[in-house]
């Protein structure tokens, strides 16, 4: 190697996967506020209760409350995403990915929501050790955000 040029080294896969997970987590934290999940007062009340339970680390209770809201509005993509986030927080990565994908089936032309779902899918895949799948999900999210 010529003098004056730094040697380039590759990161081991587990460090690269961890770095990707940190990046995806930062994206989720820094996301702009989303619009209201519903116009139905009952659904909004349930969602408020679920978020309070989640803040108190009562994740199973929060998930059950979101599931009740979904019985009222089964086609609401925001509720599916909320449930996916709760499953991700509980460490149920496969279910989180599945629920985020379901949210995308109802998201229509809402590119911001679809991108957020792909970021969540990427987090779930990274947590399961699927670095390539996480990268693909991050690429889909970035494509939607253009």
Q: Cβ neighbours of residue 97 under 8 Å, at least 6 residues apart?
A: 84, 120, 121, 124, 125
Quick check: 85 and 105 in contact, CB under 8 A?
no
Residue 29: pLDDT over 50? no
How far is residue 13's CA from residue 124's CA, in Å, rounded to a whole number? 17
CATH code at 39-144: 1.25.40.10
101-123 pLDDT, tens digit per residue, is 999 999 999 999 999 999 999 99
What pLDDT does residue 54 have?
A: 97
To 10 degrees, what angle do helices 93-106 and 111-127 make? Answer: 170
What pLDDT does residue 12 have?
A: 59
How far is residue 97's CA from residue 6's CA, in Å, rounded to a whole number? 40
What pLDDT does residue 30 have?
A: 41
- Give residue limits of the domains in the chain: 39-144
Which position has the higher pLDDT, 139 or 9? Answer: 139
């Amino acid at each position: 190697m010529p003098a004056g040029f730094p040697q380039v080294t590759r990161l081991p896969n587990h460090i690269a996967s961890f770095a990707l997970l940190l990046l995806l987590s930062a994206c989720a934290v820094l996301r702009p506020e989303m619009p209201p999940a519903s116009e139905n007062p009952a659904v909004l009340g349930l969602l408020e209760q679920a978020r309070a339970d989640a803040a108190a680390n009562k994740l199973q209770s929060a998930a059950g409350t979101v599931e009740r809201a979904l019985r009222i509005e089964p086609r609401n993509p925001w509720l599916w995403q909320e449930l996916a986030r709760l499953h991700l927080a509980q460490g149920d990565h496969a279910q989180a990915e599945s629920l985020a994908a379901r949210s995308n089936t109802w998201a229509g032309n809402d590119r911001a929501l679809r991108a957020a779902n792909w970021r969540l899918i990427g987090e779930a895949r990274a947590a399961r050790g699927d670095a390539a799948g996480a990268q693909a999900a991050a690429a889909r999210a970035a494509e939607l955000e253009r």
